[in-house]
């Protein structure tokens, strides 16, 4: 079995700096982590490897420093790491990102592809589904579990707000996973030593993946960022335990106070 896990290195902070001109994220100087949903995807792949035997390939598009995230994935137990890095990829929105990733995936053999549901720095949840479209593969989003009994059919639990479904799917397919599906393992001591001393990271450029340059990076990104902002902390609401008559008065007063009425 071969599994490709797409992962993204994201800034480990809620206070992200934004380039005021381009409207894109400034990653330099901010501590980075593997995006939590993607890390759960890696854990799901590694669990599959433990149980059934699999080659786990991690694939990331990003600047050279994303190598650190890939080394972490190798130290956790991934077998091979590929970094898509080229100035031609810079400034990519979700469409250009999934385009580049799909070109890369066309160079690889796999049974299925795992991506995180969404990245904490963008919250779009678009790359996984777009990837499935470009690859013309069935997709299962919001996966919370995957089970395999060795018969060529994967049982994927899909979790939505108030219910979950178990879907049967045959390879190849794409699934996007939720961070709460598992508790990712730690890097191990031998894993770290191998990842840093023995394993190499394959560096792929736009040429390697034979992609159309017009569809990559800023050029291939139709998204225009209108405004970027850090999420403000919401204050908890006020709770009144009063009778309906008094409640009506409180609501009216509040609406008057805020000039709604």
Q: Characterize the bridge pairing of strands 2-6 and 112-116.
A: parallel
Q: Name the minimum Å distance from CB 46 to other proteins.
A: 14
DSSP symbols for 161-229:
TTEEEEEEEESSEEEEE-GGG--PPPPPHHHHHHHHHT--EEEE-TTTTT--GGGSTTTT---------
In the complex with other proteins, the residue whose CB is nearer, 189 or 233, is: 189
One character per residue 112-131, x = contact with other proteins (rule: CB under 8 A): --------------------
Q: Where are the alpha helices (H) located in the chain, listed in sequence order?
A: 36-52, 67-76, 94-106, 127-135, 189-197, 244-257
* CA distances for 50 relative to 5, 45, 79, 160, 191, angstroms: 16, 9, 12, 28, 15
Compose the 151-190 pattern: x for residues touching other proteins by CB under 8 A, - for all others. Answer: -----------------------------------xxxxx
* Residues near other proteins (CB under 8 A), total: 15
Residue 96 interacts with other proteins (CB under 8 A)?
A: no
For other proteins, the binding residue among 192, 203, 208, 215 (CB under 8 A) is 192
Q: Which residue, 75 or 84, has its beta carbon nearer to other proteins?
A: 75
Assess contact for 83 and 203: CB atoms under 8 A.
Answer: yes
Q: Measure the CA angle with vertex 144, ends 4 and 156; round to 5°.
A: 70
Q: How far is the CB of 36 from other proteins (least distance, A)?
A: 13
Which sign does the torsion angle of CA 229, 13, 92, 122 carry?
A: negative
Q: How far is the CB of 104 from other proteins (least distance, A)?
A: 25
Q: Tell the smallest beta-carbon distance from residue 156 to other proteins (Å).
A: 28
Phi-psi region of 85 (alpha: psi -120 to 50; beta: other; left: phi over 0): beta
Output the smallest distance, CB 16 to other proteins, in A.
Answer: 20
Is the CB of 50 or the CB of 212 nearer to other proteins? 50
Q: Whole-number minimum distance, CB 197 to other proteins, in Å?
A: 7
Q: Quick one: which of 37, 38, 43, 72 contacts other proteins (CB under 8 A)?
A: 72
**C-alpha radius of gyration, the chain, whole number:** 22
Contact present, 146 and 3 (Cβ < 8 Å): no
Measured distance CA(161)–CA(184) in Å, rounded: 23
Among 68, 157, 167, 205, binds other proteins (CB under 8 A): 68
Among 64, 153, 193, 250, indicate the residue that binds other proteins (CB under 8 A): 193
Min separation Cβ 174 and other proteins, Å: 29
Nearer to other proteins, 33 or 218 (CB): 33
Residue 12 CB, shortest distance to other proteins, in Å, is: 11
Site track 197-216 with other proteins (rule: CB under 8 A), x = hit: x-------------------
Residues that bind other proteins (CB under 8 A): 68, 71-72, 75, 186-193, 195-197
């Amino acid at each position: 079995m071969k599994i490709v896990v797409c992962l993204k290195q994201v800034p480990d902070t809620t206070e992200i700096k934004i380039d005021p001109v381009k409207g894109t994220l400034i990653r330099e100087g901010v501590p980075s982590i593997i995006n939590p949903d993607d890390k759960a995807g890696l854990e799901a792949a590694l669990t599959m490897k433990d149980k059934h035997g699999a080659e786990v390939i991690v694939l990331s598009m990003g600047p050279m420093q994303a190598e650190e995230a890939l080394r972490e994935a190798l130290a956790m137990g991934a077998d091979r790491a590929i970094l898509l890095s080229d100035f031609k990829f810079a400034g990519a929105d979700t469409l250009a990102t999934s385009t580049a990733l799909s070109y890369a995936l066309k160079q690889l053999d796999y049974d299925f592809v795992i991506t995180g549901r969404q990245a904490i720095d963008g919250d779009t949840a678009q790359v996984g589904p777009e990837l499935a479209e470009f690859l013309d593969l069935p997709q299962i989003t919001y996966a919370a579990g995957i089970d395999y009994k060795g018969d060529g059919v994967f049982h994927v639990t899909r979790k939505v707000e108030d219910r979950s479904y178990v879907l049967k799917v045959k390879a190849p397919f794409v699934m996007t996973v939720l961070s709460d599906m598992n508790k990712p393992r730690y890097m191990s001591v031998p894993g770290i030593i191998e990842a840093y001393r023995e394993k190499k990271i394959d560096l792929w450029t736009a040429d390697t993946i034979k992609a159309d340059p017009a569809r990559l990076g800023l050029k291939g990104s139709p998204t225009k960022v209108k405004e970027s902002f850090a999420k403000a902390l919401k204050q908890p609401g006020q709770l009144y335990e009063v009778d309906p008559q008094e409640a009506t008065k409180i609501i009216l007063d509040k609406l008057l106070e805020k000039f709604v009425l």
